[in-house]
Amino acid sequence: MIEVVNPATEEVVGTVAEGTPADVDAAVSAAVAAFPAWSRTSVDERAEVVRAVIDGLRARSEELAATMTREMGTPLTFSQKVQVTNPIAIAEGVAEVLGAGYFEPEEIGNSLVFREPVGVVAAITPWNFPLQQMVAKVVPALAAGNTVVLKPSELAPGTADLLAEIVAGATPEGVFQLVHGTGPVVGEALAAHPGVDMVSFTGSTKAGRRVSAVAAETVKRVALELGGKSACIVLDDADLGRAVKIAVANSFMNNGQACSAWTRLLVPADRHDEAVELAAQAAGKYVPADPGDPRTRIGPAVSKAQRDRVVGYIRKGVEEGARLAAGGPEAPLPQGFYVTPTVFGDVTPEMTIAQEEIFGPVLSVMPYTDEDDAVRIANSTIYGLAGGVFSADTDRALRVARRLRTGQVDINAAAFNTSAPFGGYRQSGNGREFGRFGLDEFCELKSVQR
């Protein structure tokens, strides 16, 4: 059994069975057996399943939010307003696409082009946005006519159990399978299994490389949503105070545990010190506290290992010469895996904290000389997941956004869109999620000539 620990109290709040390769084989066999019948169901039938999942998520939203807060420490208010509402919106987007003729064959000359399911999909999901990432894979995969085996993070298994109850109650036997366990055991077994036709993985870039390598042995399709080191560029005509405040909030969201967080804040060199001071002031409003309290803005890291990893990066930043403007490596509370929200100034592009994904509440403020320099710095990591641009001139901001080698860019804090494609360039992964773009990942194309 694997113990589930509340990161705010360090208490064991549950256990989950540690899956084995034999469990994976049984789940895949069931999914393979269920695929022929499920793949032949009508679009209307599958749309009914999606709507049933949406209804189930809404009915159990409070339970889902509380479970995520207990298991991975995200503040309850964030759980309620983001961790539950985004997955519902993602599923609603899938239902909308199904109703818009997505699976109607397309005529191209003397050919009919059909979208058909890939087969058995292995969905391997992370702990930081557990429900969102599970829904973003499971719902479109099922909607496309695939059967699914889900391997959630062992750090947030209760959330997966709740979703499994909802999905299993809406689908025929064998169509959806859940196997708990660790990545090196269950994840590897799924990626290697000859009965699995596709792996959709969200997690670290290091783990994504391993999934790709293992899956390549059977030439299965692989979709990866991996790490990020996203930059927020504040142009010289922007409202600096507003931009810094929003950038700090973005960097610290979900306790700093978001792959798309703007962890690098790029500002004009002549306003760098002002930006650092503003960021430090904003960080002071993020006081680590009980995530179950609706007033709490930032909770603990998900585990002791994650807390220690983040603290190690903070120490590394100090060692390499970055200026500590707020926070530091000291624990803010005597109990729980908390990290003090931290802001660094005078960060240069070659520093470790400017290159590697920290996955904690740590913001690096970086000066640039001109627009070209800002773009160069923003594009100077191995990642390319997200980013932001602030400017009083939206056309100028758009020109800069187009130059960023990243999958999505927000201009002046535009709202998150669960129907637009989400995914990364370079070592932030491949493939896209959400809306019709997410459905594309789980479909094969067949041309029939007449």
The three-class DSSP label of residue 429 is strand
Spatial separation of the C-alpha atoms in residues 76 and 271, rounded to whole Å: 36
Q: At 107, phi and psi to the nearest 5? A: -90, 125
What is the chain's length? Answer: 450
Contact (CB, 8 A) for 303 and 296: no
Q: How far apart are the first and last CA of the chain?
A: 57
Report the number of secondary-structure helices (H) and strands (E) in the chain.
16, 18
Q: What is the DSSP letter of 426?
A: G
Contact (CB, 8 A) for 331 and 338: yes
User: Which residue spans of the chain are classified as CATH 3.40.309.10?
Assistant: 230-411
Beta-strand pair 198-202/221-225:
parallel
Q: Is the Cα dihedral 271, 277, 279, 282 positive or negative?
A: negative
User: Which residue spans of the chain are classified as CATH 3.40.605.10?
Assistant: 2-226+426-449
Beta-strand pair 387-390/410-411:
parallel
Spatial separation of the C-alpha atoms in residues 81 and 86, rounded to whole Å: 8
Residue 92 among the catalytic residues: no
3-state secondary structure labels for all residues of 76-104: HHHHHHHHCHHHHHHHHHHHHHHCCCCCC
Q: Which amino acid is at 278?
A: L
Burial status of residue 419 (CB atoms within 10 A of its CB: 0-12, 13-18, 19 or more): middle
The pLDDT assigned to 407 comes to: 98
Cα-based distances in Å from 325 to 13, 241, 243, 279: 36, 17, 18, 8
The pLDDT assigned to 312 comes to: 98
The pLDDT assigned to 329 comes to: 97
The pLDDT assigned to 44 comes to: 96
Q: What is the DSSP letter of 428?
A: G
Rg from Cα positions in the chain: 22
402 sits in which H/E element: helix 394-403
Which member of 71, 154, 188, 225 is catalytic? 225
Contact (CB, 8 A) for 144 and 115: yes
User: Residue 9 CB: number of other CB atoms within 10 A?
Assistant: 16
Contact (CB, 8 A) for 390 and 239: yes
Q: At 389, phi and psi to the nearest 5? A: -135, 130
Cα-based distances in Å from 436 to 125, 260, 408: 20, 21, 16
**pLDDT digits 0-9 by tens, 114-129:** 999 999 999 999 999 9
The pLDDT assigned to 410 comes to: 98
Spatial separation of the C-alpha atoms in residues 269 and 340, rounded to whole Å: 27
Q: Which CATH superfamily is domain 230-411 in?
A: Aldehyde Dehydrogenase; Chain A, domain 2 (3.40.309.10)
Edge-first strand listing for the sheet containing 106-108: 106-108, 111-117, 443-449
Contact (CB, 8 A) for 283 and 326: yes
Decide which of 3.30.565.10, 3.30.1490.100, 3.40.605.10, 3.40.640.10 is the CATH code for 2-226+426-449: 3.40.605.10
The pLDDT assigned to 286 comes to: 98
The pLDDT assigned to 438 comes to: 96
Cβ within 8 Å of residue 441, ≥6 positions away = 140, 200, 223, 431, 432, 433
Mean pLDDT for back-to-back runs of 10 residues, the chain (450 residues) = 96 95 98 98 97 98 98 97 98 96 96 98 98 98 98 96 97 97 97 98 96 97 97 98 98 97 98 98 98 97 98 98 98 97 98 98 98 98 98 98 98 96 97 96 97
